[in-house]
A and B are shown apart, each in its own frame.
Chain A
């Protein structure tokens, strides 16, 4: 039994190839059903498919045969031959496959470091496989461990902190100036695509009010309805500025529509309360000279892009810390994985029983004479041998190439809490040796 990863991603394949292999949730389920696992060299399979990657994580008995089987399945079922193309696809095994999945879950393998969607997609991949019945003890544990590692890396480092899109950066800056956006009034000037995108991010913060203005009132009404706001005609802009705390402006006007004088008037009337303007229009809607007004925080496209860039760099600086966390989590998983061998399990089980016998004998030693204690040691030793005789035979008979065998080994580990008490870790070579025998 070993872990195999076969996949393509934005690092290895162009968009056309990725698109050809990308599967929706339902398509993944159908594909897994089509394979009718366990069959041949593949015992368990989970597919992570997003717009940037399609990866097959499998528990296999022979990685080469399993790889071929997966390539054939993609070729015949999806009509996509690229999985077998070494120019696009990559193969990882055991520890490398585990480390790769953990990096994916943490968002370290994503286009944008710390990207948040991928963790949900990794979790969802297991849910789909579980529903179809192609996941098993190994992949189940692997994906849960990956989700935990991804969570830790995000929560304990800064890889997912700071806005990395202009729209989100606008919201964050406004929040940093004004505090809770839930009590602020937001005015969106211009109902085009860009304005709408930023407005959507603000509407998620449930502002006290959201007003949409546009040259054509009908268009403003459509966007306002979508964002649970109200619409107003653009000619009321000067008055509306006085009744708002945050302005998002994104019109296609050739000249600034909000002058410094207008804003000076607004800021003066606010009696010292800060005022935020997000100008994402090109050319700009707000006179850049307005940035000099105290208590007015003006963010245009350039400044927002600079903020995004600063955040991106800050995230990248955090990558080594995240990598260290992942390394530890990979280590924990591999401890468990390597313990799923016949010989180490028997050894750990025996050590565990002998330890209990020794502790109990020592606890009651004061009640026995020295000669009796020798007898007691012999007795407990014999008892342990008798107790473990049958389980040892049964464990030796377990077939690790089947899901059932792995599940039973895992059950023994869990039942007797052997993971932390087993004999020294087994190397990959020993692992394969055991399997060969």
Chain B
């Protein structure tokens, strides 16, 4: 009779082909979702307005199942590498969008959130290699909370950037008395401003949690001598704190100085571009303490 560990291993082996299949199907699903939502945005056809939301809900469920299966099979929260993180961000974007659509009934902005999700999922599916052989440190629950909240923060700030961009587009359309597709399909300025603000708040709070958990966790590890080095000088840490401060400044500007939604929208867009660029540079060109995969 095989033991519990053996049974788990056998079950994992059985699940792996399914994970591989889902890894191929997910980008295709995202592609189809983007096509459906593009059609909905351009034509506003009844069939696409009925089909697209259901498809997105199904996609979110499937993607959730994929992440749960991957986590159980490989015995760690599936955010241990950049490529695993990307599929998690794609999932977070989709879940947030499906939630917003269900709550506010706004169906025409799906293409703008699911298109970046598609890009993240394609990159993840192309390069991800799930493995059970990860450093022990990455099995820590501290790691799970730290990275998950960082990725939720990243997803929140991505959503803020998308709605920020849409706000700026509609603002100029309204200023110029243009009533084209942007006017007809997007929700009103007030709603876009609110979505931009809420996403920014959620993203910033998650990022705050990620930074705090990271600091406490690393401090604990250092005190026990499990890791060495000066993480305060880590470029990823420094850039994240800088981005966090920039967003914090933006939120304070709203709360203290009553900055208008247009300014917040513009800043959230610029900050997001800065965040993307700094992440790319650090990941590909600099040595960082944050390198696990």
Question: A residues within 8 Å of B by Cβ?
Answer: 155-156, 158, 161-162, 173, 175-180, 271-274, 291, 294-295, 297, 299, 303-304, 306-307, 310-311, 314
Contacts and interface: CB of A to CB of B under 8 A. Distances in A.
Contact of B188 (A161, A179, A310): A179
Output the residue of B45, B174, B262 with the most chain A CB within 10 A. B174
Contacts of A156: 45-46
Contacts of B179: 162, 307, 310-311, 314
A317 to B, nearest CB: 11
Contact of B263 (A272, A304, A310): A272
Contacts, number: 60
Most chain B beta-carbon neighbours within 10 Å: one of A177, A291, A306: A177
Nearest to B253: A272
Contact of A158 (B44, B174, B189, B263): B44
13 contacts: A162-B179, A173-B177, A175-B188, A177-B174, A179-B190, A272-B260, A272-B263, A274-B261, A304-B177, A307-B179, A310-B178, A310-B179, A311-B179
Contacts of B178: 310
Contact of A272 (B46, B180, B183, B259): B259
B191 interface: yes
Contacts of A158: 44, 184
A299 B260 CA distance: 21
B262 A162 contact: no
B259 A176 contact: no
A297 B261 contact: no
Q: Which of A178, A271, A274, A299 has the most CB of B within 10 A?
A: A274
Can you list the 9 inter-chain pairs with the closest CB atoms, starting with the nearest? A272-B260, A179-B190, A271-B258, A303-B177, A179-B188, A310-B179, A176-B188, A156-B46, A307-B179
B263 to A, nearest CB: 7
Contact of B262 (A179, A180, A295, A306): A295
A177 B262 contact: no
A162 B259 contact: no
Main secondary structure of the interface of B (DSSP, over half): helix
Contacts of B184: 158, 161-162, 314
Contacts of A291: 175
Nearest to A302: B177
B259 A178 contact: no
A291 B175 CA distance: 8
Contacts of B263: 272
Contact of A177 (B180, B189, B258): B189
Interface string B18-54: 0000000000000000000000000011100000000
A176 B175 contact: no
Interface in B149-189: 170, 174-175, 177-180, 183-184, 188-189
Nearest to B47: A156
A306 B177 contact: yes
Contacts of B189: 176-179, 274
A282 B261 CA distance: 33
Nearest to B189: A177
A164 to B, nearest CB: 11
B50 to A, nearest CB: 11
A182 to B, nearest CB: 12
Contacts of B259: 272
Given A272-B260, A272-B263, A294-B262, A177 B177 contact: no
A272 B188 contact: no
A20 to B, nearest CB: 39
A263 B191 CA distance: 24
B277 to A, nearest CB: 28
A307 B189 CA distance: 18
